[in-house]
Amino acid sequence: MPTPDLDALRRYAIARTLFTPTTLAHAIRRLGFVQADPIRAPARAQDLTLRHRVKDYRAGDLERRYPRLAVEEDCLVNYGFLPREHLALLHPRTPRRAWDAKTRQRAAEVLAFVREHGPVHPRQVEQHFAHGRVRNYWGGSSNATTHLLDGMHYRGLLRVARRDGGTRVYEAVTHPAVDDGPERRAYRATALVDLVLDKYAPLPAASLTYLVRLLGYGAPQLAMQAQAALRHAREHLPNVRIDGVTWYWPAGEDPASRRHAVDASLRLLAPFDPVAWDRRRFTMLWGWTYKFEAYTPAAKRRLGYYALPMLWREQVIGWANVVVRDGHLQPDFGYVDAKPKGAAFRTALDDEMKRLSTFLGI
């Protein structure tokens, strides 16, 4: 197998995740996990990610079709959508911080209510129990019922049955019993490490370590086994060292293969697209720093509120902030260097804006 250089790794990173558009179910299964985000600018991150990988995809298709898919909302390295079969790797999930007696009692009461009434909107639960407010992660105030439902979902007591206007509607769930012995835990941890590697490969060593540490969010009970699985992976996975950095990828794949040719399309990617998600890898492959600045004070933003990385051929050459006003797209483009000249770029950009308009139903 030829030794890949950085150019080969760049093409490999693009080609392996921007596969030929397929069905929604198959795309999610192939991706393994699709990160979710509530911001809509001009669409939610999960829709922006899937539109490049699902044939004839339209904004909101995942939410509309979710109840009929073998897909779940849950936590992996962060929150998103994953094939239902992966839940057996994550549950039973025991959070690092246990509930106090009062919270356990409230959860038991809410669970009984949901079992009696079937799928419930958080508003129904709040109207019945009136739990009040709690201090949230950011130091502000949040609805205590929403906070409790989130915790019950994380612990595997509830699942998301569907969404109504973007709001999660919950139903009771009982996850199948799993063998939680040492050997099975080790297997689950190894499978999770393989899952994140397969989604984000090729990965520099530091990024692989970081992702495995994030698995402690989705499967805290497997954190120790995940570290052992990471050590095994770093000893046995195919890898290459370039400019002092070791890169890893799944066994059986060849990053240097000529099959990883990149097409001439231009794509505006979601901030959490697999191509752009790992900011460390992004800088190594494309030579500039991409930042997600939605939560950055406006005066300090360099790229914009919701900058979409602009991938043309095998280079990320800039970004776009896109809004919809009066039924029309209003893009604002930025470029790392000068804006490319020539008909090929103009045509590629026009084609992408047309695809984006169709995706948004404009």
Identify the domain containing residue 108 by its residue range: 101-172
- Tell how far CA 196 is from the center of its chain: 11
Q: What is the pLDDT of residue 180?
A: 85
- Tell how far CA 256 is from the center of its chain: 26
Q: What is the pLDDT of residue 138?
A: 33
Q: Would 18 be classed as within a structural domain?
A: no
Buried-state track 275-301, b at ≥16 Cβ within 10 A, e below 16: bbbbeebbebbbeeebebbeeeeeeee
Q: Would 38 be classed as within a structural domain?
A: no
Among residues 28, 27, 46, the alpha carbon closest in space to that of 36 is found at: 46
**If DSSP codes are grouped into helix, strand and coil, which group holds residue 269?**
coil
Q: Which regions of the chain does DSSP assign to beta strands (E)?
A: 34-35, 71-75, 79-83, 133-135, 141-143, 158-164, 167-172, 203-204, 239-242, 245-248, 266-268, 308-312, 315-325, 328-335
Beta-bridge partners for 164: 167
Domain end residue (candidates: 132, 153, 172): 172
For position 121, which CATH number holds?
Answer: 1.10.10
Q: Would 134 be classed as within a structural domain?
A: yes
pLDDT per residue as tens digits for the range 13-57: 999 999 999 999 999 999 999 999 999 999 999 999 999 999 999
Sequential DSSP letters for 302-356: SS-TTPEEEEETTEEEEEEEEEEETTEEEEEEEESSSPPPSHHHHHHHHHHHHHH
Q: Would 162 be classed as within a structural domain?
A: yes
Instruction: List phi, psi (to 5°) of 6.
Output: -65, -35
Longest CA–CA span in the chain (Å) reads 67
Q: What is the pLDDT of residue 135?
A: 52
Q: What is the pLDDT of residue 136?
A: 43
What's the CA gap between 92 and 72, in Å, rounded?
15
What's the CA gap between 14 and 74, in Å, rounded?
26
Tell me how many domains the chain contains: 2
pLDDT per residue as tens digits for the range 87-146: 999 998 989 899 999 999 999 999 999 999 999 999 999 888 875 555 543 344 347 888
Looking at the chain, the number of H-run helices and the number of E-run strands are 13, 14
Q: What is the pLDDT of residue 231?
A: 97
What's the CA gap between 361 and 324, in Å, rounded?
11
Q: Would 33 be classed as within a structural domain?
A: no
Is beta strand 71-75 parallel, antiparallel or unpaired with respect to 79-83?
antiparallel
Q: Would 225 be classed as within a structural domain?
A: no
Angle at Cα 145 formed by Cα 141 and Cα 170, nearest 5°? Answer: 130
Q: Answer yes or no: do 262 and 356 share one domain.
A: yes
Domain end residue (candidates: 143, 172, 201): 172
Q: Would 312 be classed as within a structural domain?
A: yes
Q: Would 284 be classed as within a structural domain?
A: yes
Low-confidence ranges of the chain (pLDDT < 50): 136-142
Report pTM: 0.93
Domain end residue (candidates: 149, 172, 195): 172
Q: H or E segment at 126?
A: helix 122-129
